[in-house]
Amino acid sequence: MRFKAKLNNSQLSLLHAVIAPISKLQDAHRNYAVLYLDEEFVRISLKNSETRITCFLELSQKELFLEHRIESAADNVIVCQVDLVSFKLALQSVVGGGSGSMNSSRQKSQQRANNNNGTQTNNNNRNNPVFQSLQQEVIVLKLAKRNGLPCLCLEGRHSQSDFSNMDVEIHQAIPVTILRRAEMQNHLPPQINMPQVQLELPMNRPIRPLLDKLKVMGQHGTRHRSRLF
């Protein structure tokens, strides 16, 4: 069973922006989310036993990752339980350059490699957009074993903002519980007939003000479906 994906900085920020609000739904009894991985999609299902709120998320792997590889005996499908709060902190440690990192992180500094001519690049070249694009770091997300336990591992590198010759490598490992593929059937969104009235909103339009206005019409909504990609 293998899974490995590479992300750039913008994709990492997007993943963090998605995981952060969903992690707030995780209840105090540590009812972890279910993570589903296949060759096309990343699906996350979370049920809060206290508030009875259910959240289901589907992301396209082609848009979320630069490249990815998945292998398993269950038709290249991997299902596992993951703590979204720990996952959020791991993503935050790379997005924020080390702030909010967990105890399991391992950080070390290393000297930045010289340019192709073997000379040190000056600060003016560092401000060049072409140079910055060449120096863009790639973040790795993968499943691996740590101390004999399966973990969702995140490996990234943060460049110091003062343009020093030092980088900080960040390694995070979030323990997961591997589930059978068939168990995902218990975490899919419910099958509901299409409503008679539907609303379609632009991607940049916040939905909360609309829901607040719809509260006067009733306490329950049928379903809201959105696509991120």
Rounded to whole angstroms, the Cα distance separating 101 from 90 reads: 6
At 97, the pLDDT band (50, 70, 90 cuts) reads low
Would 125 be classed as within a structural domain?
yes
Query: Per-residue pLDDT tens for 34-45?
Result: 999 999 999 999
Residue type, 92: Q
- Whole-angstrom distance, CA of residue 198 vs CA of residue 222: 10
* pLDDT at residue 8 in the model: 93
Look up the CATH number of the domain holding residue 46.
Answer: 3.70.10.10
> Given this model, what pLDDT does residue 13 score?
93
In a domain, 177, yes or no: yes
Assess if residue 136 is contained within a domain: yes
What is the distance between the alpha carbons of residues 128 and 148, in angstroms, rounded to a whole number? 45
Asked whether residue 48 is domain-assigned, the answer is: yes
109 is a domain residue: yes
- For residue 228, pLDDT beyond 80: no
One-letter amino acid identity for 19?
I
Domain span holding position 55: 2-195
Note the pLDDT tens digit of each residue in 68-89. 999 999 999 999 999 999 999 9
Residue 43 near residue 18, CB atoms below 8 Å: no
26 contacts 55 by C-beta, under 8 angstroms: no
pTM comes to 0.68
Number of structural domains found in the chain: 1
